[in-house]
Amino acid sequence: MYTARKRRRIQLLLASAALLAASTVLVGYALRDGVSYFRSPTEILSELPPATETFRVGGLVAERSVHRQEGGGIEFQVTDGASSVVVRYMGILPDLFSEGQGVVALGTFDGSKFLASEILAKHDENYMPREVVEALKEQGVYRQQE
């Protein structure tokens, strides 16, 4: 039979396992809103995401696609070389935002346009977000910066 000492040890182990499981569930629940997946324009157009899903889209800002809107908004196209998605953004763009440069936008897709809540631009002439590089390599249009 179990002695009192062994019984306490087993109870302590079971209580510790239960606390670990509960804390893991709580951390996962707390972080679920902070996770945003990355998609390339080709992935968005091949499988349209739900309008409520927040995710990131990235690629290059297409040449001659930046258009200022009345009221301070801006529209531009993000391309991965194979497909393009129109991005609409209301707000101040990063200083390094320009045509032909890498960009990542966070927001939702309404079926025709990506409604961005945040725009991230590269921070120097050699940097491009890893997800953008991978998506461009998959499309076969990635050009190594020199």
Are the CB atoms for 56 and 85 separated by under 8 Å?
no
Per-residue pLDDT at 122 exceeds 70? no
Using pLDDT thresholds of 50, 70 and 90, give the confidence band for residue 80.
confident
Enumerate residues 6+ apart whose C-beta is below 8 A from 114.
Answer: 44, 57, 78, 85, 86, 87, 88, 105, 107, 108
Indicate the length of the chain as a whole number.
146
Rounded average pLDDT over 107-121: 92
Report pLDDT digits (tens) over 5-47: 999 999 999 999 999 999 999 988 887 766 778 888 988 999 8
Are the CB atoms for 101 and 60 separated by under 8 Å?
yes
Q: What is the DSSP letter of 94?
A: P
Using pLDDT thresholds of 50, 70 and 90, give the confidence band for residue 144.
low
Using CA atoms, how far residue 115 sits from 23, 66, 136, in Å, is: 35, 15, 22
Q: How far apart are the first and last CA of the chain?
A: 73
- If one counts every other C-beta atom within 10 angstroms of the C-beta of residue 130, the result is 10
Q: Please state whether beta strands 84-90 and 113-121 pair in parallel, antiparallel, or not at all (unpaired).
A: parallel
Task: Determine the 3-state secondary structure of 110 from DSSP.
Answer: coil
Domain 38-138 - what CATH class? mainly beta
Per-residue pLDDT at 120 exceeds 70? yes
Domain boundaries, given as residue ranges, for the chain: 1-35, 38-138
Report DSSP letters for 18-66, one per residue. HHHHHHHHHHHHHHGGG--EEE-HHHHHHSPPPTT--EEEEEEEPTT--
